[in-house]
Amino acid sequence: MFKKLSNLENISFNKYDKHVFVCVNSRIDLDRTSCGDQGLKLRGTIIEGLRKYSYNLNIRINKSGCLNECKLGPAIVIYPQGFWYYNVELSDVPEIIEKSIIGDDYIKRLKR
């Protein structure tokens, strides 16, 4: 059984200020969509884009396996906010970095 977390409100479980998971799952079965190369390019673009910032944030951009949103990929999720973004394009990266990784704002047009 799950325990209530209410007694743990003042404890931080976050190792990073922002932790981003980018799906890079690639399927051999071409009948099924997967984020694959698009996800890899997306992750690289996010990492490259973050190099411009001198903010003292502890950020991690991880490759992820399938996030179970394959038809809406490439998909990413940003913690601790729990922002899920779908059909992300490389041109979306500067806005994602500024608003959701450096900032804490949700970009509504990237929801499902």
Q: Which residues bind ligand FES (CB under 6 A)?
A: 23, 25, 34-35, 66-70, 73, 75
CB 57 within 8 A of CB 107: no
Residue nearer to ligand FES on the CB measure, 27 or 60: 27
Q: Cβ of residue 92: shortest distance to ligand FES, in angstroms?
A: 16
Those residues with Cβ within 8 angstroms of residue 76's Cβ, 6 or more apart along the chain or in another chain: 20, 21, 22, 23, 42, 67, 84, 85, 88, 96
Those residues with Cβ within 8 angstroms of residue 95's Cβ, 6 or more apart along the chain or in another chain: 107
Q: Cβ of residue 1: shortest distance to ligand FES, in angstroms?
A: 30
Residue nearer to ligand FES on the CB measure, 34 or 45: 34
Q: Cβ of residue 97: shortest distance to ligand FES, in angstroms?
A: 20
